[in-house]
Structures are given as structure tokens and as C-alpha cells.
Amino acid sequence: MTLLTARALTVAIGGRPVVGPLDLDVRAGEVVGLVGPNGAGKSTLMRALAGLAPHGGEIRLDGAPLARLSPGARARRVAHVAQTREIAWGLTVEEVVDLGRLPHRPRFAPRSTTDIRAAAGAMAAMDLVPLAGRRATELSGGETARVVVARALAQEAALLVADEPTAGLDPAYQIALMRVFRRMAREGGAVVVSLHELGLAARFCDRVILLDAGRIVADGPPEAALSAENLAAVYGVTAHLAHDAGGLVLMPTGLIDRLGDDR
Amino acid sequence: MSGSNRFLLVTMGLAGLVVALFVASLLQGPVAIPPGRALTALVSNDGGWTLVMREIRLPRALLSVTIGASLGLSGAALQGYLRNPLADAGVLGVGASAAFGAVLALYTGLSTLFPLALPLAGLAGAIVAVVLVLALSGREAGSVVLILSGVAVAGLAGALTSLVLNLSPNPYAALEIVFWLLGSLADRSMHHVGLALPFMLVGWVLLAATGRGLDALTLGRDTALSLGIRMDRLRLAVVLGTAAAVGAGVAVAGSIGFVGLVVPHLLRPLVGNRPSRLLLASALGGAALLTAADLAARLISPDKDLKLGVVTALVGTPFFLALVVRAKGRFA
């Protein structure tokens, strides 16, 4: 089932076109990896898909135009993890995660049992229970990364758009995070996640969209999108590609010099 | 959550403090009235004492509580919205513009035509300031543009106030203006309360509704948007709420500094840093602080009419410095 469709999508920043025009679909039950070099327009595209940036063309969520949903209704269906992890004042980890429940809570209402259960589930998924009472402003970078993802998970939206959520995480938490995304997809949701760790995209995503200069270069299974030719053309890198029982293994190995000096 | 229990405790404690100070303010005055008799004179007719209580002491106590609450509440909302602990109503230029409006009424002699001309001119100044700030900063402005617009408006209002002082026909006229600018609650009537209170109520409602948005904003603008917060409405509520509540206060009492800056600082750790909880706590804290300051000004020098704005600044500054020194490590 198609959850989100974008047609002739364009996004501009300060009048300068940054993304598109492009078409893409996100189906329920899949984890879509968004990869591409720095400045390719990944964050801008993700902000548009999450309904946070004005856009040209059309984005539909469950068939309805995204731009026409009320902010509250949109927030109950699309969650967004921003690349910059801002936390002001000294809220506790538990309070930050609970903010993900705001769209579900009427103004001035206390936390419902659903709110408490959702927040607790999100904290457990991100291994934050031992940190629940700590000030979120006093955490390490990796701990903060887990808090902002847990906040978005607590939102219990059908579509999660996460911008580089693995940045700053150690390998164990990177894999654990990708597994949480896989579980969310298995339970009928969908995840669009931008990644610089191509190995994670190759192994844990159902589909990979390769973005370069605001356009889609490849969109398909990891094996097809992350081919040696595509990596060379878009990133200018050589890579070691292999298969094992768990799927595709990808390791960038060198830079392709324009003069042909491969090191 | 134990946090909500503590919040309840802090709120009730502050509310109790406000009530106690309100009563103390009613009982304090140049005419000695026995406390019991003073309070009964307020509700039942007791000749001259009823007049003193209803026409002199009640408006003063009411204004100190409501203006203090407006200053505390708007300070908390602005600090939350701008995510900056240095903000208070001053950054929007509302106070400076309201003061300029009132000064203009004094200068032109409008205030001698009918007594409410002064506060009305102050309110007009606040409204002009808000329209200017919103027009200058535009629809989609971030907090820096909003602050810069406010600073520009405050600067202009300050310069115009100086110009009026400069052009004053005689020293007495200038002195009248300067004294008014210092801020005071002396000799205010129930007419002043009736004029300011409706605007303050509107301001309080607007500001109280920002709690949810301010909480979401602790995680940044993008995350607040993704949580369904309408940022344009939030900004409008903060700016208009501040203008109505603080503009009305300055219009009847003159400039009173530091309450909006200090009170949210003092109470933030007590309510667990949460912006939505800080709103109510700061309103109560502001009411308590201003009433206490007004009481102190009257007790220290009953015959000198020590100006309220002077007292809050004198008490507030060292106190604020102490807070900054203690918190130095936290604002790296």
C-alpha cells in the first residue's frame, strides 16, 4: 500500500531550486534509505516530505494532499527527526520523549495511559530507561541522538522521516536503531532515513534512493542503487561489495581521482 | 511524575504568598486602620475608612498584583519563545513605546484635560509599537529579526522620549515626566484598574495559551513544526499578549524593570525548566515580587514616595547578578 507519493516535487531555498523535479513513492512496510553526497538536497527533500517546507508539485499522504492537512493531523501521521539535535533549557529525557505525544493530547490535558505507554515503549526501544531522569542537555552526543529518535517514535506516526539519525552513534546503537526502524516497518509503518553510512543503507534498507544535485540518480533495491558504477559516478569512490547470509556488505575503499589515480 | 507534584506545591506556595502580600498591601498606608476593621470596611460601609480602602488602597494592591503578574508572565513567555534567558517585554519595545505615549500626553497637556488621557496615550503607544514590530519583522521571521525589530522600536521610542524632555518648556514639566517614567502605583484609582485590567486579561489569555508551543519549541523550530505547532500563531500570541498585558501595565504605572527578567530565572529550576509550567509560576512570582517591592517602598520611606521602578531595579540588579554568578557554569 502506498503511504506517500510525490509527483513533480520541487523544493527551493531562498528562491534557489535545491530539489527536483522528482517523483517518489513510499509504501507501508518498507524502510527507505536516502543517500547522496553532502549538499545533494537530502535534508531539504526530507523536510518537504515531512510537510515542514513549502514545495512545488504534489505530495500526497494516504491519497490526500499533505499541504492541506492541518498541522495537528499531519503531526499525528508524520514524524520528523531533524539533523540538528536542539534541546533548550534543562528538560529531563523523559519529558523530551513525552513531547512526542503533544499532537495526540488536547490542550491542557494530562498524560493519558496511551501517552505513558507510547513514551515508555519509545524509551525502551532506544535503551533510554536508565537515563529517564537525567537532564537532556547534559547527555553525550550519542545519547542525545537516541533521545531525539525516541521523541519521534513516541509520536507513533505511520511515517517516520529521520535525517541522519545514526550520526554520532556507536556501531552497536547504529545497528539497534536500524532494527527499530525495521520493526516499525514490519508493524505496518514506513521509514525514510537519510544515511552517510552506506553499509547500513545496503544492509538494513528495503530500498535505497540515491540523490545527487537534487535529482534521483537511482531508486531500487540496495544491490541496484548502490552499484559500483553509481557510487563512482555520484560519490567518486571505489567500494568493496560482497554478499553474506545477512545481505549486502558495502565498504567504501578509495577515492577515484579525476586523473585516474585510484587510491 | 514527581515533577508535577512539585509544580503543584510551588504554585500553591506562590499563590499563598500573593494573597498574603495582597492583604499586607491593603493594610499598609499613612492612615492607621486596625487590620480587622480595614478589611471589613472594604466590604461593608464604614464611612471614611471605606473610602480609603476602596478608593486608595484597593486599586494600589490590585494594580501591583496584576501588573506584576503581567510582567512575570510575559517575561516567561518571551524567554521561552526566544529561547533566550535574557529576554523580557523590553526586547519588543512595548514598554518604551507605552512610556513615550504617556510622556507625550504629559507634554501636550492632554493629561490635564481628563485623567485617563495619560494611560490611554500609553496604551496607544504600546499598540503602535506592536504594529511596527510585526510589520518590520514580517510573517516568517525568526527570533533574531523579531529582537532586532523590537530593539529598533525601543530605540526610537527612547529617542523620542528624550526629545520631548529636551523640548520641555520648564524644569517642572520635565520633572513631572521623569517622575512618571520612574514608575509608581501611588494615587491610582479604580478607573486605572478598570482601564488596564481588560487589556491585561486579554494578554493573559493569549500568553497562557502559548505553553504547549513553547514546550515543543524547546526542541527547535523544525521539531516544533513537526509536532503540529503553528509557529505564526505562536509568535502572534506571544507578541500581542505581551503588548496587551505589559502595555496596559506601563500605561497606568510607568516603567517597571527587572521583574520580567528576574522572576522566570528564579522560578525556572523550581518548576523543572518546563516553559509551560513556568508561565503560571512566573505570573504568581511577578505578582508577589511587585507587591512586595511596592510594600517595601512604602515601609522604607513612607513620606518620600520612593518610586516603584527604582526599588525593583535596586533590588533586582544585585539579585540578578547573584543568580548569574551562581549559574555561570550552566550558560557555557
Q: Which domain holds residue B298?
A: 2-330
> Closest chain B residue to A44 measured between Cα atoms?
B222
Smallest Cα distance from A148 to chain B, Å: 9
Q: Is the pLDDT of residue B331 over 60?
A: no
Chain A to chain B, count of Cβ pairs less than 8 Å apart? 82
Identity of the residue in A76, A79, A99 whose CB atom sits nearest the CB atom of B216? A99
Neighbour count for residue A258 (Cβ, 10 Å): 7
- Give the residue on B whose Cα is nearest the Cα of A160: B226
A214 neighbors A19 (Cβ within 8 angstroms): yes
For residues B271 and B240, the answer to whether their CB atoms sit within 8 Å is no
Are A88 and B223 inside 8 Å of each other by CB? no
Kindly write down the DSSP assignment for every residue of B141-209, as one continuous string: --HHHHHHHHHHHHHHHHHHHHHHHHT-SSHHHHHHHHHHHT---TT--HHHHHHHHHHHHHHHHHHHT
Please write the tens of the pLDDT for every residue from A128-139: 999 999 999 999
Whether the pLDDT of residue B258 is over 90: the answer is no
> Under DSSP, is residue A262 helix (H, G, I), strand (E, B) or coil?
strand
User: Are B223 and A92 in contact (CB < 8 Å)?
Assistant: no
Rounded to 5 degrees, what angle do the CA atoms B49, B51, B52 make?
65
CA dist A43 to A91, A196, A240, B319, Å? 26, 12, 27, 45
CATH of the domain at B162: 1.10.3470.10
Give the other-Cβ count within 10 Å of B271's Cβ.
Answer: 23
Cell numbers placing B177: 515626566
Reply yes or no on whether the pLDDT at B157 is more than 90. Answer: yes
* Choice among A55-69, A166-180, B109-123, B286-300 with the minimum mean pLDDT: B109-123
Q: What are phi and psi of B181, to 5 degrees?
A: -60, -30
Under the banding of pLDDT at 50, 70 and 90, the label for residue A59 is very high
Q: Which amino acid is at A68?
A: R
Contact yes or no for A71 and B3 at CB 8 A: no
The CA-atom distances, in angstroms, between A102 and each of A69, A159, A160, A241 are 17, 17, 16, 44
Contact A170, A141 (CB under 8 A): no
State whether B220 and A78 contact (CB < 8 Å): no
Output phi, psi for A157, to 5 deg.
-90, 155
Number of domains in chain B: 1
Q: Residue B3 in 3-state DSSP?
A: helix
Q: Report the mean per-residue pLDDT for chain B.
A: 88
Chain B nearest-CA distance from A101, in A, is 8
Give me the CATH code for the A2-255 domain, please.
3.40.50.300
**Nearest residue of B to residue A70, measured between CA atoms:** B228
Chain A: nearest CA to B226, how far in angstroms? 6
**Cβ–Cβ < 8 Å for A94, B273:** no
Residue to test with chain A: of B4, B6, B219, most A Cβ within 10 A = B219
Q: Could you tell me the residue ranges of all domains in chain A? A: 2-255
Higher confidence at residue B100 or residue B171? B100
Confidence of residue B330 (pLDDT cuts 50, 70, 90): low
Q: What does residue A26 show for φ and ψ, rounded to 5 degrees?
A: -125, 120
